[in-house]
Amino acid sequence: MADIVLFYPRTGFDIQKLSVDIPLSILAAASLAVKDFDVVLIDQRTDPNWRQTLIREVEAQPLLLGVSSMTGKQISSGLEAARVAREVDSRVKIVWGGVHPTLLPEQTLENQFVDIIVRGEGEATLRDLAQALDKKKSLATVAGIGYKENSKIFLTEKRDHLDLNTLPPLPYHLIDMEAYVGSQGRFEDNTTRSLIYISSRGCPWQCTFCCNPKLSARRWRALDADQLYDQVSGLVQKYNLDAITFHDEEFLVDKKRSEKVADMIGGKFDWWIQARMDRLLNADIEKLAAGGLMAVQPGIESGSDRILKMIKKGETVAHIREANRKLAGTPIVPLYNFMMGFPGETKEELDMTVDLALDLIKDNANAEVSGFYVFVPYPGTELFDAAVERNFVPPATLEEWAQYNRQHLDTPWVQQNRDDIENLIFMAKLVDGKRIIKRAKQALPYAPIPAGVFDFFTKKVRRKWEQHDYGHAFETRALKFVGQRFMK
């Protein structure tokens, strides 16, 4: 039985081979502790017997049960696991880590199913915490945590950010890797064998809707190109992969590094990145494409320069259009994300975003609309405070945050455009006709839907978007049904 049990809860967007990636947070947390302790990882998304597994491990009285959590559904699933553990052994130390406990440590600790929280990166903290619990040392000696003692909450000193080049490779042997191999909807070929990988942390930009500026202090840290290549090429060889998904917040921060990586990969396998449009303008796109870059997912956010300035995106619509034209001359597939429902956004600005999306897929035959998402005020973001000033009432407990999600439509300023925004969420999944076909083939491999069905809906959507009509016509209701059924 294990000394440390780490639990990865369901996220609410969990479809095997379509949206279930490696549980990187708990793998990373285990990377140092695994040298001194026996560690077991439980992934609620992939283990149908997770409850029995958890009960068995808790009955063996581990030093701690760790729960990873982002804001939203993962909290609900994490609380479910914590309740199970507490019923088995009321003495088990339940430790929460991840983005949400880091941003709201005191509020998280107020919950009865939270004994300790880890603030920030967990590798060194989890190891030190386990050692303290094992040797019955005071928790006050462990940096980077919060804990409760005699009904009082204490936060220890923060830890410095880690040098990624000093960390060992992730302990992949702790999980069934084959459960996470797949295209995950990111590559054109649904049979692509890909795994997710993160080669850097942090982001130097200051987008006001993002919590990264607070989490990383706008500091970007990365593995050097040689170590990156050694690790990913090892994964490709060991697990017979066709591709690697680099899920860094921004892969192209360092131009020389990214080009060196492209040279080293040299087309031996495909790869996917997230990158800003202004960085793509600055990049040697031909070199990246020659190196095997297959797809890139930029956050476009808005078609309004006023909104882009308000959210401190650091880009303009002109930048976006120019970068799209540059990408059009390559085989790289851009997967564009958009946001709507910002405080103060007008119907005209929403229409501008729709127009930009249509123009991008018109000017670049490879381009896809990955999705239209609603701005949600998350804790730790600059716009969160602005939202509160506009009468947004944030959740007050961990349980209330569990009901929060990325398509939250209850912010006061969204109400005037609520129907349009709700419809756009689903219509966007069909507007270019490519993404839903790809997803449907993966979700329903044995009952394929004729492409002509999606082509019919795509034409309907484009016509309505060109007219700025997002209303409740018959086809919109049908589109919503298709979107809910096949594009979860």
| Helix (H) or strand (E) segment spanning residue 351 | helix 347-363
DSSP state of 161: P
Taking the C-alpha atoms of residue 43 and residue 39, their distance in angstroms, rounded to an integer, is: 13
Which has the closest alpha carbon to 395: 172, 129, 72, 44? Answer: 72
Instruction: Note the Cα 300 to chain centre separation in Å.
Output: 16
Residue range 420-427: average pLDDT?
84
DSSP-assigned states of every residue in 371-406: EEEE----TTSHHHHHHHHTT-----SHHHHTT--T
CATH of 4-155 among 3.40.50.300, 3.40.640.10, 2.60.40.10, 3.40.50.2300: 3.40.50.2300
Least confident residue range of 270-284, 374-388, 399-413: 399-413
pLDDT band at residue 447 under the 50/70/90 scheme? very low
Strands 243-246 and 194-197: parallel
Q: State pLDDT tens for residues 103-153.
A: 999 999 999 999 999 999 999 999 999 999 999 999 999 999 999 999 999
Query: Is pLDDT above 90 for 306?
Result: yes
Query: Is pLDDT above 80 for 102?
Result: yes
Beta bridge partners of 273: 296
Which has the closest alpha carbon to 438: 382, 379, 370? Answer: 370
- The backbone torsions φ and ψ at residue 473, rounded to the nearest 5 degrees and listed phi first, read -75, 170
**pLDDT value at residue 475:** 58
- The CA distances from residue 368 to 18, 136, 300, 357, 435, in Å, are 17, 55, 12, 9, 7
Give the residue with greater pLDDT, 453 vs 379.
Answer: 379
Q: pTM of the predicted model, to two decimals?
A: 0.92
On whether the CB atoms of residues 229 and 261 are closer than 8 A, the answer is: yes
- The CA distances from residue 405 to 74, 211, 301, 474, 486, in Å, are 10, 15, 18, 27, 19
**Rounded mean pLDDT of the chain?**
91
pLDDT band at residue 53 under the 50/70/90 scheme? very high
On whether the CB atoms of residues 377 and 411 are closer than 8 A, the answer is: yes
On whether the CB atoms of residues 193 and 240 are closer than 8 A, the answer is: yes
As a whole-number percent, the residues of the chain with pLDDT over 90 amount to 76
- HSE of 168 in the Cβ direction (CA atoms, 13 Å)? 13
On whether the CB atoms of residues 373 and 338 are closer than 8 A, the answer is: yes
Taking the C-alpha atoms of residue 381 and residue 206, their distance in angstroms, rounded to an integer, is: 10
Give the residue with greater pLDDT, 448 vs 168.
Answer: 168
Query: Is pLDDT above 70 for 449?
Result: no
pLDDT band at residue 411 under the 50/70/90 scheme? confident
**pLDDT value at residue 446:** 47
**pLDDT value at residue 317:** 98
Instruction: Provide the token pair at 145.
Output: 């945590």
Give the fold, CATH level 3, of 181-292: Transcription Regulator spoIIAA (3.30.750)
Residues 6+ apart with CB under 8 A from 57: 1, 2, 5, 40, 42, 65
What does the domain layout of the chain look like in residue ranges?
Answer: 4-155, 181-292
Instruction: Note the Cα 192 to chain centre separation in Å.
Output: 20
Residue range 341-352: average pLDDT?
94
pLDDT band at residue 488 under the 50/70/90 scheme? very low
On whether the CB atoms of residues 37 and 3 are closer than 8 A, the answer is: yes
Taking the C-alpha atoms of residue 458 and residue 447, their distance in angstroms, rounded to an integer, is: 20
Torsion angle defined by CA atoms of residues 170, 269, 323 and 435, in that order, rounded to the nearest 10 degrees: -90
Residues 6+ apart with CB under 8 A from 474: none
Which has the closest alpha carbon to 267: 297, 238, 243? Answer: 243
Query: Is pLDDT above 70 for 314?
Result: yes
